[in-house]
Copies of this chain bind each other. A is one copy, B any other.
Amino acid sequence: MATIRDVAKLAGVSVATVSRVLNKNSYVNKDTEQKVVKAIEQLQYEPNTVARGLAGKETGTIALILPDISNPFFPVIARGVEDVAQRHGYTVILCNSDDHGQKEKGYIEMLRKKYVDGMIFASSTLSEEDVEQMRKNKIPLVVLDRALTSQSYSVIRARNYEGAKLAVRHLLDIGCKKIAHLYGPQEMITAKERLQGYEDSVKHAPWYTPSLMLPGHFHMDGGLRAVKDLMEKHSDIDGIFCGNDLMAVGALKGLHQLGIRVPDDVALIGFDGISLTEITQPELSTIAQPNYDMGKLAAEVLFEAIQSGVVQPKLYELEVTLIERDSTARKPTDRP
């Protein structure tokens, strides 16, 4: 492979000049530039990213740290990130943290040693200490689904609270008379906000009682188990808002096992808008958040920070939309 010195020799100039042509960051005579360009083409020269990285420039690499790529919520986000990165000539290192603080720390350490140009976090366990470390090392940082508590990173999130209200409103609109909620781990701000949205929507209803809120851990099994508990305690509920789609799928399974019909007996709505919701029977209504766009935006914001060299911490809140499907397809008149 040709090096910058080969190019310099062929063009009859110094390596510094070649470097200047490549980076367009200093004066270069038009004619000289032409000579260099010609030499580069002739040798099919491509600058070496590793050497460049070592010399203090960008390494052309960003990292995406998420809990688990096999959780169907993340692949689309990852795809959004990767598409943008690819367009910028960057590659993406994928890390599965399992929401495990220690594993996360290990990754951060490793990535720092690799001089990654920036990181995107989709994880609820990112510690302030880690954030501080990255700030010190001037590694730009973008975080998904967090509160904006630090002055050193931008946050991308969906309007969870509003989405939750939207979901409950929809259930009420189709005539639900008693609505339960399955919520996720309260360390996650998304889970918390969705629960809050539910609570604020229903707390003044005559039928409201705290036991209508059950934990489902954002997982399918959790949803399944929770819904069975729920129906035992409250056999008269006719609507369930699940804090995420995975739990909704589990709930649907559970209801089916109990012989309860969806949406006729109980209407069901999830949150996230992952593709799973289209393959259940009945298809699941959901509050969709723009997952691909979240990944895309995260990457765009990150590159903005990388290129400008300044971190302008900012909060991006993305709109969510109600997607009505069969699991809430009930005429208001069905249940007088």
- A residues with a Cβ closer than 8 A to B are 46-51, 53-54, 59-61, 63-64, 68-70, 72, 74-76, 78-79, 82-83, 86, 89, 91-96, 109-111, 113-115, 220, 249, 252-253, 256, 275-276, 279-281
Contacts and interface: CB of A to CB of B under 8 A. Distances in A.
A79 B70 contact: yes
Contact of A113 (B46, B93, B95, B252): B46
B69 A79 contact: yes
B60 A82 contact: no
A253 B63 CA distance: 38
B79 A91 contact: no
A113 B82 contact: no
A50 B114 contact: yes
A83 B74 CA distance: 17
A115 B50 contact: yes
B70 A76 contact: yes
A203 B4 CA distance: 63
Contact of A111 (B59, B86, B89, B91): B91
A94 B96 contact: no
Contact of A54 (B50, B64, B69, B89): B50
Top 5 A-B pairs, shortest CB-CB distance: A281-B281, A94-B94, A70-B75, A70-B79, A91-B93
